[in-house]
Amino acid sequence: MLSDLLISSQATMGIIIAAACVFGVALILYGVFKKFNQMGWLPWQILVIFAVMLVTKFIPTTLEPTLRLGVICAIFLIVTALVIGAGEAIRHVMLVRVRPANLFLRICNRLLGAVTGVLGLAVVLVAVAGFALPICQFAIPPARDILGPILFENAVYQSLSQYLFDFFLIAFLVSTVHAGYRVGLGRGLLTLLMCVFALGALALAIYFAVAVPGLKNLSSEIGGAIRGNRAVATLVGYLISILIWFTLIFTVLSLFGWLIHLLIRKIRYVRPFAVIGGIIMAIIFFVLVLVIFSGVGAVVSWMSSGGLRKAIEGTGVGGLESLISTIEQYARGIADAFTSSPFGAALYNGNAITGLLPS
> d(Cα 60, Cα 63) in Å, to the nearest integer?
6
Rounded Cα distance between 185 and 284, Å, is 9
Helix, strand, coil share of the chain (percent; to 5): 85, 0, 15
pLDDT confidence band for 2 (50 / 70 / 90)? very low
Q: Predicted confidence band at 265 (pLDDT cuts at 50, 70, 90)?
A: low
Decide: 150 and 260 in contact? Cβ < 8 Å. no
What is the spatial distance between Cα 160 and Cα 154, in angstroms, rounded to a whole number?
10
pLDDT at 343: 92
pLDDT of residue 273: 66
Mean pLDDT of 328-354: 89
**How many Å is the Cα radius of gyration of the chain?**
27
Angstrom distance (rounded) from CA 255 to CA 197: 11
**Which tens digit of pLDDT belongs to each residue from 32-88?**
888 888 888 899 999 999 999 999 888 998 889 999 999 999 999 999 999 988 888
pLDDT at residue 71 in the model: 93
Helix pair angle (307-315, 271-304), 10° resolution: 70
pLDDT score of 75? 94
Q: Give the Cα separation of 182 and 278 in Å (integer).
A: 6
In our burial notation (b when 16+ CB lie closer than 10 A, e otherwise), range 75-109 reads: ebeebbeebbeebeeebeeeeeeeeeeeeeeeeeb
Which residue did the predictor score with more confidence, 283 or 101? 283
Share of residues in the chain with pLDDT > 70 (%)? 84
- pTM of the predicted protein model: 0.74
Rounded-to-integer distance, Cα 309 and Cα 187, Å? 44
Write phi, then psi, for 242 (nearest 5 degrees): -60, -40
Q: Are 69 and 342 in contact (CB under 8 A)?
A: no
Q: Are residues 274 and 181 in contact, defined by beta-carbon separation less than 8 angstroms?
A: no
* Segment 135-183, tens digit of pLDDT: 989 988 888 888 888 888 888 888 888 899 999 999 999 999 988 888 7
Amino acid at 231: A
